[in-house]
Structure 1
């Protein structure tokens, strides 16, 4: 299966807040998914100069960003540092410790185990919208 046939591993989650960028990461993430993520993040930041994020890892397997250009990765990192106020990571491995040192003093990052997802939404003052 090539990238054009694969189901995207990164999917937006609708919420009751326009300035919340919420995503679900499912299974294996490849370079095409990384490019998609950065495009979605760029669009969210264009609409709202300051955003909150929720990153939910569901059955997360691996991430292979080897074909993602270093410039794209750096642009995404800079965008997040400039625009994200709070970020809740839900489920999967706790990756927050690795990037905490890069955050600005006013940025907040918290990890929530999968069974405490409701607390993450509450911390961000948001609720997911039910899909129809």
Structure 2
């Protein structure tokens, strides 16, 4: 399989809220996946100055952090701190501590084990939209 045939690790999830950005992360995140994620988030910020985020980690195999530009990573983190009100991570490792001490007033971040995905959706006041 060549680069153009690879399935993206980050896949958008449809929800019942326009101001909720939800993604499923499957497998290993490449630098191209990270760039795509930041672009999708920028589009969400343009539509809604403040959003909630749900990140579902399904069979997460890690990220190629060393290959992602430090400037890109830092810019994405700083922008998220300005725009994200609530963030729920579901499954995978609990990475919420990476931002916990830097959250602006009123912002919240929580990790939910994979078996508690319904609780994460409830916490955000949202539901996944059936795309079938």
TM-score bucket (shorter structure): over 0.9
Over the residues paired in the alignment, what is the CA RMSD in angstroms?
1.1
Aligned to 1:77, what secondary structure does the other structure show? Answer: helix
In the other structure, the counterpart of 2:10 is: 10
Point out the more displaced range, 60-69 or 85-94: 60-69
- Which of structure 1's runs of 4+ aligned residues deviate more than 3 A? none
In the other structure, the counterpart of 1:126 is: 126
State the 1:65 CA deviation: 3.1
Whether the 8 Å contact between 1:57 and 1:90 is mirrored in structure 2 is yes
In the TM superposition, 1:105-120 aligns within 5 A as 105-120=105-120
Counterpart-to-counterpart distance in 2, 1:3 and 1:82: 33
Matched residues, number: 132
Structure 2 unaligned blocks of 5 or more: none
Give per-residue Cα distances to partners, 1:58-86, cap 9 Å, x unaligned. 00001003332222112211110000000
Structure 1 unaligned blocks of 5 or more: none
In the other structure, the counterpart of 2:100 is: 100
Whether the 8 Å contact between 1:86 and 1:108 is mirrored in structure 2 is yes
Give the TM-score, by structure 1 length.
0.95
Counterpart-to-counterpart distance in 2, 1:35 and 1:66: 14
State the 1:14 CA deviation: 0.3
State the 1:98 CA deviation: 2.5
Counterpart-to-counterpart distance in 2, 1:130 and 1:95: 28
Q: 2:26 aligned with 1:26, yes or no?
A: yes
